[in-house]
Structure 1
């Protein structure tokens, strides 16, 4: 069943983000995440699903804050880097503290950044569902988003969007 489930989810393209957090003494941590969705407009909230054993989850829980960096079409190398577990990943990207929480904002890789505080954390299988209250949204660039589906990266640009 696990293999069939993985195949089913691979056939469901989704946007790619990097969830980041920072704390002392751990410093900045982050991981590529495609399990993200909006939850509520009022109040603005979203949820991310992070692996239960993830060091990033531990920092998110301890600090009570995180940033969701929605990656632009040219950021495939950053998505791969943050999926790799490389210990020097923050030395290899441009980032700055998000304005409210200080969570790392990946300024060269993201098209939009949501600065969030943790509202709730719920266990779900081998992951934890983190509900975040969005405190600030920063739009860095327009017209493209990195996607992942069918075990490969793609992109969506404003020029390719369907017209209504």
Structure 2
């Protein structure tokens, strides 16, 4: 059994006092497994775009079509998304690393560095040059979970890059990779 060197917090499970792993240990655990890279985008009432990169997203249900992602409570996008009630999930392809890196920062000018446009139906910011697929979603529920909020969204529309579709971008073990060719 491997344990993290640094621990913080404590939990009493009724039989023994357990110590919680510290943030660095938890980050190392989560970084050890690759995930697909997405950029979540939305806009405020004035039409200003907001967004951030994430790998904490997954499908939830087929009927109705639901997905979820986790957003930092301290980021600028979550309050705008909560107020607007709509978002786009842009699933990045291998050449979309520039978008992943731009949206992984808190730089307010990230939308000036990456090509984007408003989707035709819902007017959400999408990244068609960097994403192989994107979904337009309505916020169904927000659930605070520690320093993040779980956002549950209902998928109302999807679109994808033309064939041949580029391979997805992955992030794990603190580096980017592209899904291998078959």
TM-score grouping bracket, smaller chain normalisation: over 0.9
Distance (whole Å) between structure 2 residues aligned to residue 103 and residue 4 of structure 1: 36
Distance (whole Å) between structure 2 residues aligned to residue 100 and residue 23 of structure 1: 17
Does residue 172 of structure 2 align to residue 149 of structure 1?
A: yes
Could you list the runs of 5+ residues in structure 1 that have no partner in the other structure? none
Distance (whole Å) between structure 2 residues aligned to residue 58 and residue 113 of structure 1: 22
Correspondence for 1:25? 46
Q: TM-score when scaled to structure 2?
A: 0.83
Distance (whole Å) between structure 1 residues aligned to residue 124 and residue 52 of structure 2: 13
Correspondence for 2:158? 137
Bigger relative contact order, structure 1 or 2, given CA contacts below 8 A and separation 6+?
Answer: 1
Distance (whole Å) between structure 2 residues aligned to residue 101 and residue 122 of structure 1: 24
Q: Deviations over 1:28-54 (max 9, x none)?
A: 000001100000011111001000121
Structure 1 runs of 4+ off > 6 angstroms? Answer: none
Could you list the runs of 5+ residues in structure 2 that have no partner in the other structure? 1-20
Correspondence for 1:128? 149
Does residue 126 of structure 2 align to residue 105 of structure 1?
A: yes
Match of 2:70 among 33, 39, 49: 49
CA contact (8 A) 1:100 1:135 kept: no
Correspondence for 1:86? 107
What's the offset of the Cα at 1:89? 1.2
How many pairs are equivalent? 159
- RMSD of aligned Cα (Å): 1.3
Q: Deviations over 1:71-115 (max 9, x none)?
A: 000111110001112221111211111233322000111000000
CA contact (8 A) 1:50 1:128 kept: yes
Q: Which has the larger radius of gyration?
A: 2
